[in-house]
Amino acid sequence: MELLQAALAERRRAASPRRTCGADGNTTRARRSVSLKEQLIGRGTIAGLTAISYLPEPLLLTIAKVWGAVGPLLQPARARLGRANLARVYEFRDNATPTSSALTRGTREMFEHHLRFYIESARAPRHARKIIATRVKLEDELAVAAAFSPAAGASIFLAAHFGAIELPGSILADRSGRTPMAPMEEISNEVLQAWMLRVRGAGLGLRIISAKGAAQVMSDELAVGGIVGMVGDRNIVGAGVPVKLFGQTAKLPIGPALLAVESGAKLYVAAVIREPRGAYTGYIREVVIPTDGDRMARTRATLAGIAAVFEELIVKAPEQWWTLFYPIWDDIRA
């Protein structure tokens, strides 16, 4: 029942009309004048992100390492939640209760890797393709070649908030010879939103679309054999669907699984994990979509398959999964 309710809720949100500029000239959320303050904040942020992309990488990694040490002290509530969630993943991986020292070390690494995500996001438009060409090793070249082949047809590539999340999409664009479509959550600052859409699209070889109304746009893209990328490990809107994740019940977004079942597209989970000395390793797994049962049963089974792949990949480097900073399981709250 909760699966059906979640599906209906997401469909209602997708069907809700976006407000536009009215006949009387009053501006709305879809189109409105940008205040001077918003322009200054947006342009200042853009300048900062651009400057970061020019700074030496060793300096930025040193800053991230320092943040790993001081971040838990400055954000104790966040550190406590992250530590509790990390303990669950460690226990699932090792089948043993983690030591306090291991959790302290892991929590510091979580803060470090979370900042590295922001650093990589700022640097990606200028540096992602060079990094892919020189520093990314693929676990299975043949599997990637088959999944990313221009002849592979309609495909959904799913990621978690994990590792170097900017790189899988760029690898997909380079290897497939096509332009993957990817939704991006809307930023409240419209100046920054427009810039992010532009640079992430051109810099990473993606077609970035707004998350609002994305379900229908992605369905249309898959219907003509296109490829789409999504993030699916954290339920941001809607009720979510219960699924076993690291041994306990969590709620994951229904969208990717439902889209795969309804479209008939292949479904993959991809991740790029940071390794020592600036190296990266890329992984890809296909999620089998059941053919038996009704739509809801198939969607639920597909979601369970997604969760199993998330578990397999995340245990390779749990400290790089920054969803741990957010509520995941009902028995571990902020």
Which one has a higher pLDDT value, 292 or 129? 292
In a domain, 136, yes or no: yes
Contact indicator for 78, 325 with CB cutoff of 8 Å: yes
In a domain, 256, yes or no: yes
In a domain, 248, yes or no: yes
Residue ranges making up the domain that contains 264: 2-12+36-325
> Residue 86's pLDDT is what?
99
Pairing assessment for the beta strands 136-138 and 227-231 based on DSSP bridges: unpaired
> Residue 94's pLDDT is what?
97
**Letter for the amino acid at 266?**
K
140: left (phi over 0), alpha (psi -120 to 50) or beta: beta
Helices 190-204 and 166-176 cross at an angle (nearest 10°) of 40
In a domain, 17, yes or no: no
**Letter for the amino acid at 168?**
P
Q: What is the mean pLDDT of the chain?
A: 87
Among 282, 234, 291, which residue's Cα sits nearest to residue 260?
291
Place 6 in a pLDDT band, splitting at 50, 70 and 90: very low
In a domain, 150, yes or no: yes
Q: What is the pLDDT of residues 155-190, one digit of tens each?
A: 999 999 999 988 888 888 888 888 899 988 777 788
| CA 298 – CA 291 distance, rounded (Å) | 7
In a domain, 166, yes or no: yes
Q: Is the pLDDT of residue 18 over 70?
A: no
Which one has a higher pLDDT value, 28 or 56? 56
Query: Mean pLDDT throughout 194-207?
Result: 78
Q: What is the pLDDT of residues 250-305, one digit of tens each?
A: 999 999 999 999 999 999 999 999 999 999 999 999 999 999 999 999 999 999 99
Lowest mean pLDDT among 15-24, 51-60, 113-122, 291-300: 15-24
In a domain, 83, yes or no: yes
In a domain, 205, yes or no: yes
Place 33 in a pLDDT band, splitting at 50, 70 and 90: low
Lowest mean pLDDT among 161-165, 173-177, 197-201, 315-319: 197-201
SS (H, E, C) the chain: CHHHHHHHHHHHHHHCCCCCCCCCCCCCCCCCCCCHHHHHHHHHHHHHHHHHHHCCHHHHHHHHHHHHHHHHHHCHHHHHHHHHHHHHHHHHHHCCCCCHHHHHHHHHHHHHHHHHHHHHHHHHHHHHHHHHHHHEEECCHHHHHHHHCCCCCCEEEEECCECCCHHHHHHHHHHHCCCCEEEECCCCCHHHHHHHHHHHHHHHCCEEEECCCHHHHHHHHHHCCCEEEEECCCCCCCCCEEEEECCEEEEECCHHHHHHHHHCCEEEEEEEEECHHHCEEEEEEEECCCCCCCHHHHHHHHHHHHHHHHHHHHCCCHHHEHHHHCCCECCCCC
Neighbours of 261 (CB within 10 A): 24
Q: Which residues contact 126 (CB under 8 A, 6 or more apart)?
A: 53, 54, 203
> Residue 184's pLDDT is what?
81
**What are the strands of the beta sheet with 280-287, ordered from one edge?**
136-138, 280-287, 266-274, 155-159, 227-231, 181-184, 207-210
**Number of domains making up the chain:** 1
Q: What is the pLDDT of residues 65-86, one digit of tens each?
A: 999 999 999 999 999 999 999 9
What is the value of pTM for the model shown?
A: 0.85
Place 151 in a pLDDT band, splitting at 50, 70 and 90: confident
- Residue with structure tokens 């700022």? 122
> Residue 24's pLDDT is what?
36
Q: Which long-range contacts (CB under 8 A, 24 or more apart) does 62-66 make?
A: 63/115, 63/119, 64/112, 64/113, 64/115, 64/116, 64/119, 65/112
Q: Is the pLDDT of residue 3 over 50?
A: no
Which one has a higher pLDDT value, 291 or 26? 291
